[in-house]
Amino acid sequence: MKKIIALLAGGTTGEWVVSVRSALTIAQNIDTELYEVYKIMMNDSGWFYEPSDSVKIDIDKNDFSLMIEGRKIKFDGVFIAIHGSPGEDGKLQGYFDMLNIPYTACNTLTSSITMNKHYTKVIVDGILNLHNAKSVHVFKGGSYSIDKINTDLKLPYFVKPNNGGSSIGMSKVKHADDLSMALEKAFNEDTQVLIEEFVNGREFSVGVFKANGKIKVLPATEVIPANEFFDFDAKYTPGATEEITPGRMSAPELEMVAQIVTDVYEKLGCRGVVRVDYFLERETGKFFFIEINTIPGQTATSFIPQQVAAMGITLKEFYTQLMKETLG
């Protein structure tokens, strides 16, 4: 008997459009012999199912159900494809926990913590072979000093919203005079901002997931942006970034990275598929943790579909493994 699955897309942030594109990839690759899928859209005006031949049908939020032609549809599980809030920060996870509906993503606590870049770095600090760039964590309206930041950190550095994704609101600061403007840009997206020293390294992104009870590491993608750094345009504009999958790493580097990202997955209590971004410092080869994304993009230009192909399995096989592990 098929499981009835809600594919939840949209959201209430600037990442809404990325979520819709991710959901399209997922919907096209779910095994319809195992799952009956309903794509549920979420935006500021509500949660709804929109059949191609009908008007929008609102979700009953009391039990996350649908009423279609007198038939009440209750879901066996939810494939969350919402990037940013409320799909990635624990809000939806808490809602589904209360309704006892399983979902594909990390649990409420892990989702909430990992949306905060600074808190995540504090937790993973101490993992063997993992390094964190020196940073300063500031709050909007707080008592931070721009002069002190410029004294404490070496230029250049990155200024980024502490919560959020897709590099929205992020800047690279090369001159001390530009810090105020970069902070203002980041504070437009969040009330907390992280300022990190630049690491001269090769950038990589790697997917990690659990299947059949075992943590598996996908082939990493090496990221060579045409822009100064891997910003929103570089992430989602075809051709704006050179992406090499599998990334160019030596056998010892591959072994080290696999150990570190597996430890990160375990220490943060992850579920489903996550993506860990990191640098390998050019001079030393040291692994510098950038961030973890607990609902990584699944668009045509996203890393996870590339890495799944490089692993030698289809997206249909990958999503089936993912859903069997997380939804039962």
Which residues contribute to the annotated binding site for Mg(2+)? 277, 291, 293
Query: 114: part of which helix (H) or strand (E)?
Result: helix 108-114
Contact at 8 Å (CB) between 226 and 243?
Answer: no
Q: What is d(CA 92, CA 12) in angstroms, rounded to the nearest whole number? A: 12
Single out the catalytic residue among 19, 22, 166, 171: 166
Residue 88 appears among annotated catalytic residues:
no
Residues belonging to the binding site are: 277, 291, 293
Concerning whether 22 is annotated as a catalytic residue, the answer is no
Contacts of 211 (CB under 8 A, 6+ apart): 321, 322, 324, 325
Q: Is residue 52 classed exposed, middle or buried when 0-12, 13-18 and 19+ CB atoms within 10 A define those classes?
A: exposed
Do residues 205 and 277 touch, judged by C-beta distance below 8 A?
yes
Whole-angstrom distance, CA of residue 169 vs CA of residue 159: 8
Active-site entry in 167, 203, 302, 325: 302
- Number of CB atoms found within 10 A of residue 106's CB: 27
15 is known as an active-site residue: yes
Q: Which of 15, 88, 196, 325 is catalytic?
A: 15
Report the C-alpha dihedral over residues 293, 299, 301, 305, rounded to 10 degrees: 70
Active-site residues, by number, are: 15, 166, 302
